[in-house]
Amino acid sequence: MNNNIYNVITAFDCNGSKMLIVQMNRATCIMSDAEYNRIIIAERKYKQWLRRNGA
């Protein structure tokens, strides 16, 4: 995983689920709120693992 920078541009409701327009580095995409949270948590765990293992 690289050092990605995530910026939430806006949020909207689509068929009862919250969707986000997210800019990652220079690419923009639409994803669900749950998917965004899953990515952020996975990157946080990976960074913690790197710190523990001295990589």
pLDDT digits (tens, 9 = 90+) for 5-32: 899 999 999 999 999 999 988 899 999 9
Please say if the pLDDT value at position 1 is more than 70: no
Report the C-alpha gap between 22 and 28 in whole angstroms. 6
| Residue in 21, 22, 23, 1 with CA at minimum distance from that of residue 12 | 21
pTM: 0.78
Instruction: Indicate the domain borders of the chain.
Output: 6-53
pLDDT at 54: 77
